[in-house]
Structure 1
C-alpha cells in the first residue's frame, strides 16, 4: 500500500508514494473515518465487544451485541455472517425491501420535527399580514414628506427583523449549552415555550417597543429550534431513509409559511385586532411541538455522549424494528464516538472555529457553503415572504386581494418544493442553482417592470402576482433546499459540527452534530434580518420597480459567485468530497472560466459538438478512506 500509485483529483498530478498523498490531504484536514470497524479480525472484534459489554454493564445482551458488531462491520455481506440466523437476516433484508416500515416512535419523532419546521415558517409569515395594520396602530404610518417617515420605515423594518436579530446574535449560540444541559428533547421544549408565549405576547403588545421585545424573545426560540430539530431527526433515523429527511426541513417550513398566509387571510376581517391575531396565531403549531416532544425517545447518540448506554439502547429499541438493529447501531455509534474523540482530542471550540478559515480544505467548504447560504437571502425570496401583502397593496390590490395573492405565493412555494426531492440528487445541487438563478432574476425584473402598467389597468396587479409566482416556482426546488443539503455534506467529520452550526439541515452520515451549528444558522438569520430591516426603506427610496430590479441584480451576482466558487457534490461519498475540496479555489475558478464556460457556449448556444474535460477524475481512487490504517489489532 505504501508504494501504491494514486492519481490526484487536480488533473495531471500523480503520487508515487501513498503516505505522501496522505500527508497532502492531512495538511488540508483529517479525512472522514469511513468505518471504524474496517479490518478488525473477527476474534479481536468479538473480544472488544465483550470488553465493551463489561465496561457498560450490558453483559445480559452481550450475544446480541456481538451479532450487531459483526453486522456493523460487514453490512453489505450480512448473508454470509454465520452468527445470524434466518430471522435475523430477514430483518436486515426488510431494511431494503420495506425501508419505510418503521416503528411508531420514529415517525412520531419525524412528525414533531416537522412541526418545528412549520412553526418556523408560520413565525416568518405572521408579520406579513400584520404589516398592513400594526403600523397604523402604533402611529408608524406617516406621509412621505413628513420628517418622521424615514425613521418610522426603519422602525417597521426593525420590528420585522427582531426574531432574526435575536437568533443570529444570541439564539443560535444558545444551542450548544442547551443541548449539553438538557438534550435534544429539553432544548426543543425550551424552544416550544418561547415560540408559544412570545407570539402570544406579540398579540397583546400595547406599544411598538413591547412588540419589538416580544419578537426578540421569539428569536431565542427560533435559533436553537432551527439548529436542533434537524439534528434530532437525523440522529434518530436509520441511514437508509435519512436522505429523504434532508429535504423535510425546507418542505415543512414552506408548509408553515403557507399556513401563516392562510391564517392572515382568515383573520384579516376581525377589525382592529386583526394584526394581533395574525401575529399571535403562530402559537398554534408550537403547542403540540412543546407537548409532543416528551413522547419522543431522546437521541441515543446524545445519551451515549453522556455515557448513558443503557438508556441509549432502550431508545434505539424504540426507534428500530428489532433488537439486532438496535445493538448494531449502538455498537457502531460507540466506535464512531471513539474515533471522533480521538480525532478531536485536544481540539477546542475556538480552535476548530478558526480552522474553518485556516485549513485549505475546510476553508473551501466554508466558502462554498457561505456562498449558497447568503445567495438564499440575495435572491430576494424573503422580501416576498415578509412583505408580499405590502407589495400587492402598493401595486393596487385591496387588503383581501393582497392576502389572497400572498396565499397563492405560499401555495406555489410549498408545491414546488416537492420536485427537489428527486432533482437534487439527479440534476445536481450546482446545476439546479445555475438553472434557477437566471430564471429568478428575469422573473423579479419582469415583476418590477409590471409596476409600469398604468394604475387602474386590470392587468397590472395580476401580472405582478404572476411573475412573483413564477419566481417562487423557480426558487422552491433550487435555492430553497440546496443550501441546507449542500452545507450539510461539504464539511469533514472533524469540522462538520462547527461548519454546520450555521445551516439548518441534518447530514446523511454524521454521528454528532450537537455543537457549532450556529455559524451558518446565524449567518442565514443575520442576512434575513438585514433584508427584513432594510426593505421598507428600500421600497420607499427605490420605488417598487427599483426594489425588484435591485434584487434581480443580486440574483445575477449570486449566480456568478455560485458559478466560480461552488463545486458539485451530487452523488459523491463524503470521502470523495475530501478530494473535491482539496482542489484549490484558484484552479476551480480557472476551470470554470477557461474550460466549462467555453464548452457551455459551444454546446448549448451554438449547438456544436464539444467534449468537456473533467475537473475531477475518480476512476483510479479506491473508495476506502486514505486514513484507514490497515487491520487493527
Structure 2
C-alpha cells in the first residue's frame, strides 16, 4: 500500500480535469521517450474528444441504465457478468477464503492445514505468470474453455480423496495435490481473464460504468460465497462442497461457450461489430457450427474439418456459399444495428 504513493497519477484523469501539463509529467514517467509520451498525450486527448461527442454531459446513472437498454452495450454487460460470476462458480474462493478449514475438514491437523494453505497461495502466484504470454496468444475465450473442464475434474478428485480412510501423509498429500493442480489451471485462465475481458468489451463511452458493474458483480457473489460456504462445509463436508463446485464449473463452461465472444487482438471498432451480433445468432453459431467442428477436429481427428467464421469484417453480408447465407444475413443486420446504436466508439482505432 505504501508503494502506491510512488505511482504516477492517471494521465487520463488529469486530462479530464484539463491538467495537461500534469498528464504529460505522468506520461514521461510511464514511457521510455518523450516522443512516445507526446504521442500518447494526443491519443488520449482524441479518445476523450470522441467520448465527449457521444455521451456529452450524460449523467452516470443514465449511462448505467444504458448498460441494459442499448443492445450492443447490453451484450457486453451480459458477457462481463458471465465471466465474473464464473470466477466465483469455479470454486477458487472456497479455498482462498477457507483453505485452512477445508484442509482441516479433510483430515489435516492445524500445522498441516496452514502449510497446505501456504502451498496453495504459492502455486496460485507462480502459475499466474504464464498468463502474460498465453492471454494474447491463445485468447481469453480459449483459455476459459480449456481450463474450466480441468478445474472441474481436479476439484472433484480433491473431494473424492477426502474419502480415503486414514489420516496419514499420503491421504493429505493427494488432497493437496489435486487442490494445487486446480489452482495451477485457475491461475492462467479464470484468474486474470475476467478483469481483462471486462475492461475491453465495453465501448469507451460506457467503459467506466461497465467495469464498475463487472467488479461489483464479482465482489457481490464473492460475499455470497463467503457467507454460504461455512454452512455448506459443515453440512456437506469437503466432498460435498467440492463436488457441488465441480458441477458449477460445468455450468460456467456452458455459459462461457454460449455467451462469450473472443476479444483477442480486436480493435474497438471490431468489438463494436462483434457485440452488435444478436446473442441468439452467436449461440446458434456455437451450437450448430463450432461444436460440430470441434467434435470432428479434436475427437474424430478429421484434419480436413473447417470452421466458417461468424464475423466478416471486410465483406459483410456476402457469403461464399449457401451454407453461410444465414450468418451473412445476420451480419448485415448486426451492421445496421451497429450504425443505429448510440454511445459507441468510432474515429479512434485501437489495436489490442
Establish whether TM, by shorter chain, passes 0.5. yes
Change over 3 Å in CA distance of 1:444–1:627 after alignment to 2: closer
Q: 1:406 Cα deviation (Å)? A: 1.0
Report the secondary structure of 2:8's partner residue.
Answer: coil
1:365 counterpart = 2:59:
no
What residue in structure 1 maps to residue 20 of structure 2? 309
Deviations 1:485-521 (A, max 9, x none): 11111111111111112xxxxxxxxxxxxxxxxx222
Equivalent residue runs for 1:333-412 within 5 Å: 333-412=44-123
What residue in structure 2 maps to residue 559 of structure 1? 253
Cα distance in 2 for partners of 1:317, 1:400 equals: 49
Cα distance in 1 for partners of 2:42, 2:307 equals: 45
Q: 1:544 Cα deviation (Å)? A: 1.6
Q: 1:616 Cα deviation (Å)? A: 1.4
What residue in structure 1 maps to residue 166 of structure 2? 455
Cα distance in 2 for partners of 1:616, 1:458 equals: 54
Equivalent residue runs for 1:459-538 within 5 Å: 459-501=170-212, 519-538=213-232
Change over 3 Å in CA distance of 1:318–1:418 after alignment to 2: closer
What residue in structure 2 maps to residue 586 of structure 1? 280
Deviations 1:459-481 (A, max 9, x none): 22111111101100110011001
Report the secondary structure of 1:591's partner residue.
Answer: helix
Give the aligned length: 320
Q: Would you say the 8 A contact 2:203–2:345 is kept in 1?
A: no
Deviations 1:32-74 (A, max 9, x none): xxxxxxxxxxxxxxxxxxxxxxxxxxxxxxxxxxxxxxxxxxx
Cα distance in 2 for partners of 1:433, 1:312 equals: 37
1:414 counterpart = 2:125:
yes
Cα distance in 1 for partners of 2:88, 2:20 equals: 42
What residue in structure 1 maps to residue 262 of structure 2? 568
Q: CA RMSD in A?
A: 2.0
Larger Rg: 1
Cα distance in 2 for partners of 1:402, 1:550 equals: 22
Report the secondary structure of 1:452's partner residue.
Answer: coil
Cα distance in 2 for partners of 1:628, 1:544 equals: 54
Report the secondary structure of 1:459's partner residue.
Answer: helix
Q: 1:416 Cα deviation (Å)? A: 0.7
Deviations 1:98-117 (A, max 9, x none): xxxxxxxxxxxxxxxxxxxx
Pick one of 306, 311, 316 that aligns with 1:616.
311
1:603 counterpart = 2:297:
yes
What residue in structure 1 maps to residue 43 of structure 2? 332
Change over 3 Å in CA distance of 1:611–1:353 after alignment to 2: same
Q: 1:552 Cα deviation (Å)? A: 0.3
Change over 3 Å in CA distance of 1:612–1:403 after alignment to 2: same
Q: 1:337 Cα deviation (Å)? A: 2.2
Cα distance in 1 for partners of 2:231, 2:169 equals: 28
Q: 1:310 Cα deviation (Å)? A: 3.1
Unaligned runs of 5+ in 2: 317-343
Cα distance in 1 for partners of 2:126, 2:346 equals: 44
Cα distance in 2 for partners of 1:524, 1:333 equals: 29
Deviations 1:110-166 (A, max 9, x none): xxxxxxxxxxxxxxxxxxxxxxxxxxxxxxxxxxxxxxxxxxxxxxxxxxxxxxxxx
Change over 3 Å in CA distance of 1:596–1:317 after alignment to 2: closer
1:298 counterpart = 2:9:
yes
Equivalent residue runs for 1:114-193 within 5 Å: none
Q: Would you say the 8 A contact 2:128–2:187 is kept in 1?
A: yes
Cα distance in 2 for partners of 1:612, 1:332 equals: 37
Q: 1:628 Cα deviation (Å)? A: 4.5
TM-score when normalising by structure 2: 0.86
Change over 3 Å in CA distance of 1:318–1:464 after alignment to 2: closer
TM-score when normalising by structure 1: 0.49
Cα distance in 1 for partners of 2:195, 2:52 equals: 26
Cα distance in 1 for partners of 2:38, 2:309 equals: 43
Cα distance in 2 for partners of 1:321, 1:606 equals: 51
